[in-house]
Amino acid sequence: MNTIVQPRRRVQPIVNIDLGLRELPIFKKLSEEEMLNVELNSVVKNFSKRSVIYREGSRHSGLYCVLKGIVKVYKIGGNGKQQILKFAQKGDLIGYRSLLTNELACTSAKAYEDTVLYHIPQHIIMELFQQNWNFTHETMKFMCKELKESNMFITDIAQKSVRERAAEMLLILKDEFGVDKYNTLQITITREDLANMVGTVTESLIRVMSEFRNENLLELPGRKIVFRDIAKLKAIANI
């Protein structure tokens, strides 16, 4: 039996090639030279399901870009209850806010599935911002998208009922994560987390989901969510 450990240096570049970085909107704006410099300085990080990526109040050394998996971004309210702000997925940026303002993180992030993130150090990102307007513009557009969604969400949560918000949130999840050929939602989410997105308690969310099931708008086999009548859900959501 050979006990000599083989060197594994060649693994790193091979991994990079498979990441498909260049296909993400944000990286498409970089020149080949810039991209190589990013790759030279960035790290691929794996997070297993449920592991914490960062916590509210921590300091970030760079920017995360989601390559694979799903990240739950949330805030903890005064009573310890989570408010989920978004589920980030492939191509989404997280942790950019505190990078730009040099403040501490105002949200927490957790891997919702086994997740692969790309961590780009702060100085590389800031360099790119200064050099490459297209890259900066793309980032700003991403920020604008989040601002728009926040504004819509504030209005909804302030004015709509739990039933309306639940219907709307299901449709948003459908848009973001898609469905398979049986109309099964392609993210597995606990009732508690769905409640934490909608901004209610688990019991209320479950009651609304049961209503939807009884009205033949959804099927709920196990933890799956199957859409049966999207038009009616849209009508309920009032969108």
> Which residues of the shown chain bind its own copies in the complex (CB under 8 A)?
75, 77-79, 81, 83, 85, 97, 100-101, 103, 106-107, 129-130, 133, 136-137, 139-141, 143-148, 150-160, 199-200, 238-239
* 157/83 Cα distance (integer angstroms): 12
Look at residue 209 and give the partner it binds from its own copies, DNA, none, a contact being a CB closer than 5 to 8 Å depending on partner kind.
DNA
Tell me if 9 sits within 8 A of 80, measured CB to CB. Answer: no
Closer Cβ to its own copies, 55 or 75, answer by number: 75
Look at residue 161 and give the partner it binds from its own copies, DNA, none, a contact being a CB closer than 5 to 8 Å depending on partner kind.
DNA
Nearest distance from C-beta of residue 128 to its own copies, angstroms: 11
Tell me if 135 sits within 8 A of 167, measured CB to CB. Answer: no
Nearest distance from C-beta of residue 74 to DNA, angstroms: 14
Look at residue 220 and give the partner it binds from its own copies, DNA, none, a contact being a CB closer than 5 to 8 Å depending on partner kind.
DNA
Nearest distance from C-beta of residue 161 to DNA, angstroms: 3
Closest CA to 52 of 123, 105, 124, 122: 105
Closer Cβ to DNA, 61 or 161, answer by number: 161
Closer Cβ to its own copies, 42 or 200, answer by number: 200
Tell me phi and psi for residue 140, to 5 degrees. -65, -40
Binding region for DNA (CB under 7 A): 161-163, 190-192, 199-204, 206-207, 209-210, 220, 222-223
Closer Cβ to DNA, 186 or 190, answer by number: 190
Nearest distance from C-beta of residue 135 to its own copies, angstroms: 11
Closer Cβ to DNA, 119 or 207, answer by number: 207
Nearest distance from C-beta of residue 209 to DNA, angstroms: 6
**Strand arrangement, sheet containing 108-111:** 52-54, 108-111, 71-76, 82-88
Nearest distance from C-beta of residue 141 to its own copies, angstroms: 5
Kindly report the number of other CB atoms within 10 A of residue 200's CB atom: 20
Closer Cβ to its own copies, 19 or 162, answer by number: 162
* 131/34 Cα distance (integer angstroms): 10
Closer Cβ to DNA, 109 or 166, answer by number: 166
Nearby residues of 225 by Cβ (< 8 Å), 6 or more positions away: 170, 184, 185, 189, 218, 219
Nearest distance from C-beta of residue 211 to DNA, angstroms: 9
